[in-house]
Structures are given as structure tokens and as C-alpha cells.
A and B are shown apart, each in its own frame.
Chain A
């Protein structure tokens, strides 16, 4: 069974700190990886996508991919209360998109 695993949290960080979210996946041939943010009662929205090993930065967000370890992470710098949400990790291969259960992040003012 192909799995994407995330720590459910909640992860609590103070405003201005770095939030680190982690994800592992079991399907070794997964090609693409995504981080979605989902506010309570809302639909997921894409934050970052990453396809190759290494880091990818976009504003306050950095995604990291290590295919050898089957590990994806998302760093949020200068965390804001508006970043409080559930973050979903997803892995894609051959039309099959697998999501983790999500990590709930709370940023405290």
C-alpha cells in the first residue's frame, strides 16, 4: 500500500519562529511532491511543488526533497498567525495522487 505519512500535530510555534513540517512517502517511484494548506472548513490550496532533490524556496516557504530517504519537508520562516492551518503533503506517480492526513499548525501571537 502506498502511503504518505505526516505527524498529525498539533504543532505550535510562536509568531516569527520557523515552523518545520515533515512528510515521508513509501512509493519509491513517486515523481512529484506537493504541499497544500487547508484552513478549517475550506478547500486545500497549493503552496509549493517540488520535483527534484534539494531545496526550493518561494518567499517565506522552503520545500526540501530527499528521494533517497523518501522524505519531504516544508519550512515556514517568520511564521504568522495567518499561517495557522492544516498542511497536507502529497506525492504523485502515474496518475495516482496520495495525500497525507495533514499536520495542524498553530502560530501563537
Chain B
């Protein structure tokens, strides 16, 4: 089954404790991206990757890091989480950016205390 998976689905952590949210797709997509969704603000792009070892900042990259060492995986790293990073996070992938259907993962709900 073609899918984008994220782990964990739910996470409660404390300020400053490094965490990683994993994202994996099995569709051989080149383009992957991370979004956060907050009430009233919609989806905002954090980082995206055009291919292996090619990443770039989206609209709200501060406080986040990403890596793309393999085509299928695109982890999101919060080196020192803060309460303003409490949000719902989605990973997404597509063959090409902007012209192909973007498939979203199930989401990761993060609470930073």
C-alpha cells in the first residue's frame, strides 16, 4: 500500500529535550516536505527536500532541522523544543513539487511543556 508514515503519532515532551519525528514514504517520491498546522493559521511549510541531500527552508524553519540521507526518509529534528512548537505536524511527499498529488502522512501531535 502506497503511504507516508510518521512516528510518533503523539508526543509530550519538555522544553529543551531534543526529539526527532520520523517520516517515511514507499512511493519513490523525490519531493518531501514538513508542515505544521495551527488553529487559524492553516498549514505552514517548515522545510522541503527536492531529492537526496537537497533540502531548503520553507516558511517557518526556525527551531527545526531536517536531513535527507535516503530517498524514502525525511526526519524532522527539534534540537531544543520550546512551547511555541506545540503543534500538529504533517509530512508529505510527491513525485514532483507543485504539479503532482502531494500525499500526507497521518500527522504527529506534539505538546512541549
Chain A interface (Cβ < 8 Å from any Cβ of B): 4, 6, 8, 31-32, 34, 42-46, 49, 51, 88, 90, 92-93, 95-102
Contact = CB atoms under 8 A, between A and B. Distances in A.
A90 B37 CA distance: 14
A95 B59 contact: no
Interface in B35-78: 35, 40-45, 48, 50, 56, 58-59
B12 interface: no
A43 B56 CA distance: 23
A42 B106 CA distance: 7
A96 B58 contact: yes
B7 interface: no
A101 B35 CA distance: 13
Interface of B: 33, 35, 40-45, 48, 50, 56, 58-59, 90, 97-99, 101-102, 104-107
A44 B50 CA distance: 21
Contacts of B99: 32, 49, 51
B97 A95 contact: yes
Contacts of A44: 43, 90, 104
Nearest to A90: B43
A34 B99 CA distance: 9
Nearest to B33: A97
Contacts of A6: 42
Contacts of B98: 31-32, 92-93, 95, 97
B8 to A, nearest CB: 15
Contacts of A43: 90, 104-107
A9 B107 CA distance: 24
B40 A101 contact: yes
A21 B101 CA distance: 20
A97 B59 CA distance: 9
B34 to A, nearest CB: 11
Nearest to B6: A43
